[in-house]
Amino acid sequence: MIILGFIWEQSLNKTLLASAICLSLGGVLASVYLAVVSPKQMYSHETIDQALQAQAQMELSDNQLAILPHTTSHRVEPGSNSYLALREAQIDRGDVLKILESSKEVYDLSRIRAKVVFMVAWQDEAEQSASAVMFHLAPTTRLLIQKVDSEWQAEMIELPVSAPSRTFVGVVQQSLWDSAANAGMDPQLISDLAQIFAWQIDFSREVRSGDRWRITVEELFADNRPIGWGNILAAEYVNAGESFSAVRFPQTGDDASYYAPDGSSLKRMFLKSPVRFGRISSRFKRRRFHPILKRNIPHNGVDYAARTGTPVRSVGKGKVIKAGRYGGSGIMVRLRHNSVYQTAYLHLSKIARGVSRGKTVKQGQIIGYVGQTGLATGPHLHFSFYENGRFVDPLGRKFPSKDPVSKKLLPEYLQVAEQSLRTLPQWPPESSAKIARQN
């Protein structure tokens, strides 16, 4: 994320200042901000000075708000359009037409969505004559249209985003999701965490009660309001007593990956699981009583119980050698990863678009969706892993690491890693006690 990288380098004060100027008070202050940049704008220097003093104090109280011109806030109602919305905000018809005309070059207001909020700044308390309109197009994007020397001018504003870090820590009792809920954490972040360790841990099969995790993550703010989560900067997951750590580090430009504390990559040739979350229903076994065929046959793979429609991912980069309906296997995709390894995904409800024989798929690419086609008693994914043409259980196999941090960057990385890992929160005391007993 370029914007974050940029802001990250500024001092926190500067970032707060910029966001306070541009955002807190909506349209008017954004205008003030622009006025500071280009002095020919409409607001007086007095107003700007006062606003700047307010920012300097880092607290924008209601009193300070009162010194600014009158503003009102509105919303585009469902079924309405930009013209109607502006008219309903009591803006003069002539001005509305000019506002729509002047914004054409920077943003097409005819495609505005319902529920978009916009603010109107008025030249006077009586709200007779509008002087600026600002649409909140996205959490960090504003369209500002204002009257400058009796001409309406439009421009897009990208709000500065600040990204202070937050930490979370959890212990698994029932499930990974419960641990996130108990930690008061957005479930999206537990999903991101699982993504980071997708090569180390099969979160469908290997999560155990007593597992614990901790993360340091960027919380994004714009307009002094939280707008979502940025990147996880450091993470640790302790799975059945084995600890895995990850540090986010950009090797080149914007490309950042996760590395172990020693600089080796967390990426492996194969993901641990073709289903991001699910529940293991039947493990790899040489023999098993088949519920439909009513006899013992080897179970050549791993069953993942998951709802119909759950995305199925390719565990590794490969070439599609089968994609279609194959009797008892139902709808199936089979991939060849190299001369040694192949994988197959059975009982799919459908194959993902663009996946057909001869095509190449990337690691983690969605190749189909869970179903119960062929011989299956319920929706699940049957996943087979072949080594030199023989079924093997991928669980517990360790594949070599991909690209580590380069030798040149390693000293820098080791410093970053040490600092980053130090930001992780303390383990809760009860989980530490559990570790002590285990050792």
Q: Of the ranges 174-182, 210-218, 359-367, 376-384, which one interacts with Zn ion (CB under 5 A)? A: 376-384
Q: Which is nearer to Zn ion, 214 or 382 (CB)?
A: 382
Minimum CB distance to Zn ion, residue 333 (Å): 15
Q: Which is nearer to Zn ion, 228 or 328 (CB)?
A: 328
Minimum CB distance to Zn ion, residue 240 (Å): 24
Q: Which is nearer to Zn ion, 95 or 303 (CB)?
A: 303
Minimum CB distance to Zn ion, residue 202 (Å): 16
236 binds Zn ion (CB under 5 A): no
Q: Which is nearer to Zn ion, 187 or 291 (CB)?
A: 291
Q: Of the ranges 17-25, 355-363, 379-387, 397-405, which one interacts with Zn ion (CB under 5 A)? A: 379-387
Span 1-30, contacts to Zn ion by CB under 5 A: none
Q: Which is nearer to Zn ion, 30 or 344 (CB)?
A: 344
Q: Of the ranges 98-106, 122-130, 236-244, 298-306, which one interacts with Zn ion (CB under 5 A)? A: 298-306
Q: Of the ranges 85-93, 112-120, 175-183, 297-305, which one interacts with Zn ion (CB under 5 A)? A: 297-305
Q: Of the ranges 131-139, 252-260, 335-343, 381-389, which one interacts with Zn ion (CB under 5 A)? A: 381-389
Q: Of the ranges 32-40, 302-310, 353-361, 413-421, which one interacts with Zn ion (CB under 5 A)? A: 302-310
Minimum CB distance to Zn ion, residue 234 (Å): 38
Q: Which of 133, 303, 373, 404 binds Zn ion (CB under 5 A)?
A: 303
Minimum CB distance to Zn ion, residue 309 (Å): 18
- Distance (Å, rounded) from C-alpha 304 to C-alpha 275? 7
Q: Which is nearer to Zn ion, 390 or 398 (CB)?
A: 390
Minimum CB distance to Zn ion, residue 352 (Å): 20
Question: Any idea what the Cα angle at residue 138 is, between residues 158 and 136, rounded to 5°?
Answer: 85
Q: Are 350 and 369 in contact (CB under 8 A)?
A: yes
Minimum CB distance to Zn ion, residue 302 (Å): 7
Q: Which is nearer to Zn ion, 218 or 303 (CB)?
A: 303
Closest CA to 233 of 378, 416, 21: 416
- Distance (Å, rounded) from C-alpha 401 to C-alpha 73? 54
Q: Which is nearer to Zn ion, 117 or 293 (CB)?
A: 293
Q: Which is nearer to Zn ion, 26 or 330 (CB)?
A: 330
Structure tokens at 304: 């993942």
Residue at 179: amino acid letter: S
Span 172-231, contacts to Zn ion by CB under 5 A: none
382 binds Zn ion (CB under 5 A): yes
- Distance (Å, rounded) from C-alpha 431 to C-alpha 437? 10
Question: Any idea what the Cα angle at residue 345 is, between residues 350 and 349, rounded to 5°?
Answer: 20
Minimum CB distance to Zn ion, residue 303 (Å): 4
Q: Are 21 and 64 in contact (CB under 8 A)?
A: no
Q: Are 181 and 172 in contact (CB under 8 A)?
A: no
Q: Which is nearer to Zn ion, 337 or 382 (CB)?
A: 382
Q: Of the ranges 94-102, 228-236, 319-327, 374-382, which one interacts with Zn ion (CB under 5 A)? A: 374-382
Q: Which is nearer to Zn ion, 165 or 281 (CB)?
A: 281
Minimum CB distance to Zn ion, residue 388 (Å): 21
Residue of this chain nearest to Zn ion (CB atom): 382
Q: Are 71 and 54 in contact (CB under 8 A)?
A: no
Minimum CB distance to Zn ion, residue 316 (Å): 20
Residues that bind Zn ion (CB under 5 A): 303, 382
